[in-house]
Chain A
Amino acid sequence: MSQNVIDTTQAAAEAAVQTGAHASADPFILAFTVFVLAIFVGYHVVWNVTPALHTPLMSVTNAISSIIIVGAILAAGPLEMNLGTVLGLIAVGLASVNIFGGFMVTQRMLAMFKRRKS
């Protein structure tokens, strides 16, 4: 059930031991570290995107942000149907519109970009 949490907590503990920091480093701080570093990665990768492909960039990032489907699947996971599972299922449907739609429309656009025939 709580694998993710245990996992991150363990990782936090291990990282804390390795760096010699306080053994009680909060998992939130670790997640926040990942978050800040990922913003830097995103910043550098996106500045390298050619302006001609900014529209496909938007549609593909749209598909990628639908990664929240992971949360939706967890919410829809339990067999017992209640408000939580139903909302989770709706979220699964909404996110999958974006995943399929986003990646497919990006593919369709990218296929149009051709070099000069010579």
Chain B
Amino acid sequence: MSANMVALAYLIAAVLFILALKGLSSPESSRRGNLFGMIGMLIAMVVTLQLPSVQNYAWIFAALAVGGLIGGSVARKIPMTHMPQLVAFMHSLVGLAAVLIAVSAFYDPAAYGIADIDGGLHLASRIELFLGAFIGAITFTASIVAFAKLQGLVSGRPVTFRGQHLLNLLLGLGMIAAGVVFCIGQGWEAFLLMLVIALVLGVLLIIPIGGADMPVIVSMLNSYSGWAAAGIGFTLSNNMLIIAGALVGSSGAILSYIMCKAMNRSLFNVLLGGFGGQVATGGGYDESAEKRPVNAGSAEDAAFLLRNARSVVIVPGYGLAVARAQHALKEVVDKLIASGVQVRFAIHPVAGRMPGHMNVLLAEADVPYDIVCEMDEINPEFAETDVALVLGANDVTNPAARTDPACPIYGMPILDVEKADRILVVKRSLSVGYAGLDNDIFYMDKTMMLFDDAKKACEAILKSLD
């Protein structure tokens, strides 16, 4: 294959990656889009494998097979509730691979064709290598910490200490200084020092960030993994890597922005961390809250309310998935639809543990995606809705976000549940949500509380509907 043919094949792969993302504009075109992505990857790999410098086939195919088997079996078995952890884990692999490639390129520049006459590296290559290596290293350890927090291996509570931000700043400057020394003198020591600082920095940047903010962090690390790939692309002067990296980088950046906007926080505010730390200390809050009267009802009452409604909007939260209630809920929905009730779902952008998570969890329970609505789409409809059923959600329905400037979630866009004719809230107790706040909708006259686990409640309602 001539060099031009190789470049053209890489261009085709890059275009296929763009088409893969374009396909995600609707569920119908998305499956074909994913196929385009796979074909693009296959082309890129085959073209690279046939390059004359690549000879070590037995070992390379062995590594491919081992990795492929692990990846494939994880992909088949992973529960959909664990997607955030899986994605975080995969980001760490991209980061680590980028670091290894950078070290290898530094060790043997000739294998990449980036050596100068003396067998060293050009200044431009050194700068690119520095960028790719440190972004990869930060992505690696930061993703490991995010994975551990999401998987519950470590507490999701923010870890903060005095002088934290100053320490991070000093480490960041130290890393850049080591990088500059490396770029000037191309010494091993400076390169390794830069890598070690970047690895430590990755951990320190994520530990102050609470579990509730993980959707933003996972999106941001998605972005980092893209920039790391683009950095390696610059090192290898390979446009396809640069294009693919830029696509992923901008995708992750947009998702982080969407998540921040949905929580009315700035990215800077999320990154500084500490949010949600006060939840654990607010123990006295519950008792005072329980003094306010609520209308508690039974599953039969709830079933009666739902059956006699013309329209029902269901607001699911992550609590629904924790209780594994999706399938029972789906049966309730089927029964209501069969008896002529209009049923729709209202999804807040931060309803799950990562962007779009709740949609996947509902799709897994066979809920058709055309009755699942986004916040902007469904909010004007609540005034026309007979019953709003809130299941395992809290903060995203809290009207205080609109009315109380003193509350921590003030300004966060919410689902206008309180505009519905009747509100039905399924909740285990009157405990506070992630943000540690009480919710006024629990105490409204038109609200009925059903105190139960989401799954048991759905099963009981289902029984009463018969």
30 contacts between A and B (CB under 8 A): A4-B237, A35-B245, A35-B246, A42-B246, A42-B249, A42-B250, A52-B374, A53-B27, A53-B356, A53-B359, A55-B352, A57-B21, A58-B87, A60-B34, A61-B247, A65-B248, A66-B93, A69-B48, A71-B101, A73-B49, A76-B54, A83-B107, A85-B56, A85-B104, A91-B104, A95-B67, A97-B71, A105-B86, A107-B31, A111-B31
B21, A60: Cβ atoms under 8 Å?
Answer: yes
A59, B87: Cβ atoms under 8 Å?
Answer: yes
A73, B22: Cβ atoms under 8 Å?
Answer: no
Question: Nearest chain A CB to B96's CB is how many angstroms away?
Answer: 6
- Residue B441 interfacial (CB < 8 Å): no
Q: How far is the CA of A2 from the CA of B3 in the complex (A)?
A: 10
Interface residue count on the B side (C-beta < 8 Å):
121
Q: How far is the CA of A22 from the CA of B211 in the complex (A)?
A: 53
A91, B101: Cβ atoms under 8 Å?
Answer: yes
- Residue B94 interfacial (CB < 8 Å): yes
- Interface stretch (choices B38-46, B153-161, B311-319): B38-46
Residues of the B chain whose Cβ atoms lie less than 8 Å from the Cβ of A59: 83, 86-87, 90
Q: How far is the CA of A96 from the CA of B75 in the complex (A)?
A: 13
- Residue A21 interfacial (CB < 8 Å): no
- Residue B236 interfacial (CB < 8 Å): yes
Residues of the A chain whose Cβ atoms lie less than 8 Å from the Cβ of B241: 67-68, 70-71
Question: Nearest chain B CB to A71's CB is how many angstroms away?
Answer: 4
Assuming the contacts A72-B97, A77-B54, A88-B101, asked whether A101 and B75 have C-beta atoms less than 8 A apart, the reply is yes
Question: Nearest chain B CB to A38's CB is how many angstroms away?
Answer: 4
Residues of the A chain whose Cβ atoms lie less than 8 Å from the Cβ of B100: 72, 75, 87-88, 90-91, 94
Q: How far is the CA of A74 from the CA of B232 in the complex (A)?
A: 12
Assuming the contacts A3-B51, A65-B229, asked whether A104 and B371 have C-beta atoms less than 8 A apart, the reply is no
A100, B226: Cβ atoms under 8 Å?
Answer: no
> Which 8 A-B pairs give the minimum distances between C-beta atoms?
A2-B113, A54-B356, A96-B67, A101-B71, A42-B250, A38-B246, A100-B71, A54-B355
Residues of the B chain whose Cβ atoms lie less than 8 Å from the Cβ of A57: 21, 24, 251, 255, 355-356
Question: Nearest chain B CB to A46's CB is how many angstroms away?
Answer: 5
A60, B37: Cβ atoms under 8 Å?
Answer: yes
Residue of A nearest to B115 (CB): A2
Assuming the contacts A56-B24, A98-B90, asked whether A64 and B37 have C-beta atoms less than 8 A apart, the reply is yes
Residue of B nearest to A40 (CB): B250
Tell me what chain A mostly uses at the interface: helix, strand, loop, or mixed.
helix
- B34's partner among A4, A75, A110 (CB-CB below 8 A) is A110
What are the interface flags for A22-36 relative to B under an 8 Å C-beta threshold, 1 for contact and 0 otherwise? 000011100100110
Q: How far is the CA of A96 from the CA of B70 in the complex (A)?
A: 9
Residue of B nearest to A42 (CB): B250
B97, A68: Cβ atoms under 8 Å?
Answer: yes
What are the interface flags for B245-283 relative to A under an 8 Å C-beta threshold, 1 for contact and 0 otherwise? 111111110110010000000000000000000000000
B251, A95: Cβ atoms under 8 Å?
Answer: no
Q: How far is the CA of A43 from the CA of B53 in the complex (A)?
A: 35
Assuming the contacts A39-B246, A42-B251, asked whether A87 and B104 have C-beta atoms less than 8 A apart, the reply is yes
- B53's partner among A49, A78, A92 (CB-CB below 8 A) is A78
- Interface stretch (choices B362-370, B397-405, B416-424, B444-452): B362-370
- Residue B372 interfacial (CB < 8 Å): yes
Assuming the contacts A49-B25, A58-B355, A84-B104, asked whether A70 and B18 have C-beta atoms less than 8 A apart, the reply is no
Question: Nearest chain A CB to B146's CB is how many angstroms away?
Answer: 13
Residues of the B chain whose Cβ atoms lie less than 8 Å from the Cβ of A63: 37, 41
Q: Which of B134-190 contact A (CB under 8 A)?
A: none
Residues of the B chain whose Cβ atoms lie less than 8 Å from the Cβ of A84: 104-105, 107-108, 111
